[in-house]
Amino acid sequence: MWLEILLTSVLGFAIYWFISRDKEETLPLEDGWWGPGTRSAAREDDSIRPFKVETSDEEIHKKFADSRCRDAWDLHQRIDKFRFTPPLEDSCFHYGFNSNYLKKVISYWRNEFDWKKQVEILNRYPHFKTKIEGLDIHFIHVKPPQLPAGHTPKPLLMVHGWPGSFYEFYKIIPLLTDPKNHGLSDEHVFEVICPSIPGYGFSEASSKKGFNSVATARIFYKLMLRLGFQEFYIQGGDWGSLICTNMAQLVPSHVKGLHLNMALVLSNFSTLTLLLGQRFGRFLGLTERDVELLYPVKEKVFYSLMRESGYMHIQCTKPDTVGSALNDSPVGLAAYILEKFSTWTNTEFRYLEDGGLERKFSLDDLLTNVMLYWTTGTIISSQRFYKENLGQGWMTQKHERMKVYVPTGFSAFPFELLHTPEKWVRFKYPKLISYSYMVRGGHFAAFEEPELLAQDIRKFLSVLERQ
């Protein structure tokens, strides 16, 4: 039986390799309209408008229709009505967010967290909005404060995922835009653009079904053109990795380089190597480090993915149901989001009473991210992105079966949800020119390890420019 399975897998891989090799396809660059109602015959307003995050009650009420903000009094009232359920003894984070530690988090949120101060931090970088395909797209655009003589900045689009936000990039931005003042070489100086995915934070949500990563990629491509960039670099993790991949599949001639810290590369080849790699890893292109991070496969892949993917099954099928509860309860929202920042940072944190949250992040940073979902009421629309992308099943969309033919760099952080060996990445991204085993870090790379990620992006650019 096992011989038959092996021969079938090898034959399937051989057929897949033969029919997919050297086919440099591109996705069709179509058009869309995701705003309410039908598309107007008038030309869409393509102006770029300055935007500021507001906090005062006057501004909150005045801008309610635009930003859907709620005032702090309402937040505190809802926090005060939280109904506490004691955790099981010695349960740590094995059952989800430990409610004893949750009491500490919400006490800090209610009594010490200074949202107005955090808004000042949010407004440290320039914010803008512009209308694309019927949606108001929010982004920050950070230019370098100074440039070496004869240099021009490299435009870099950085895309977040769920349950993150543009705020994840706040600590890495100065390392990229002002490297010399942060102890780095000024060989590579970037101009950074960080948009909010439509339906996240301050970017308007689609009013229509079907808004997926390809539509997002097209909108972000149009954003870069609107900003005057015909060629640019792109970087992403989580949904950002898929959106950036789709951009490279849509407009490869405009993408000078693609850098990822996560990749969705499951295929017949990766399945085959996963099944046989512990015994025959060297012959299948796996390194000792790959074997260390992937095996025993039952614990480090199957059990781990089952343990951490329950949310995905809900959001891929009926996101509005759980979303309605989360949108009504700030404490529920915080528990749901912050749990991911525990075990997605390090799966071993589930053995800790506090989930290890404050080992890598501050409560101010974590709660600022939660507030970007709470004050904008976007948890439901952010969760719908799962249904639009994965609700029809795996490998059902054309882009999932396509390779990517732009120069690619990859950061393999050791505590990512699923380790992706270089051989797997190269199968999907044949022009992979830089692959790095990172010394530490998990899923939220830019948020958790901005220095390491910045260094690897710069390494990728150095390799690319030497070619």
Known catalytic residues? 238, 386, 443
- Residue 44 contacts by C-beta under 8 Å, 6 or more apart in sequence? 131, 132, 133, 134
Q: 3-state DSSP helix/strand/coil percent for the chain, to nearest 5? A: 50, 10, 40
C-alpha 155/C-alpha 280 separation (Å) is 42
Q: Which H or E run includes 234?
A: strand 232-236
Amino acid of residue 162: W
3-state secondary structure at position 345 = coil
Write phi, then psi, for 42 (nearest 5 degrees).
Answer: -70, 150
**Among 169, 126, 168, 165, which Cα is nearest to 145's?**
126
**Among 433, 429, 434, 430, which Cα is nearest to 453's?**
434
**Among 184, 171, 76, which Cα is nearest to 125's?**
171
Q: Are 158 and 169 in contact (CB under 8 A)?
A: yes
C-alpha 409/C-alpha 460 separation (Å) is 6
For residues 42-75, b (16+ Cβ closer than 10 Å) or e, as one string?
eeeeeeeeebebbbeeeebeeeeeebebbebeeb
Only one residue has tokens 């969760």, namely: 383
C-alpha 409/C-alpha 233 separation (Å) is 11
Question: Angle at CA 124, nearest 5°, toward 123 and 130?
Answer: 50
C-alpha 417/C-alpha 304 separation (Å) is 8
DSSP 272-304: HHHHHHHHHGGGGT--HHHHHHH-SHIIIIIIH
Q: Are 335 and 82 in contact (CB under 8 A)?
A: no
* Partners of residue 435 on adjacent β-strands: 410
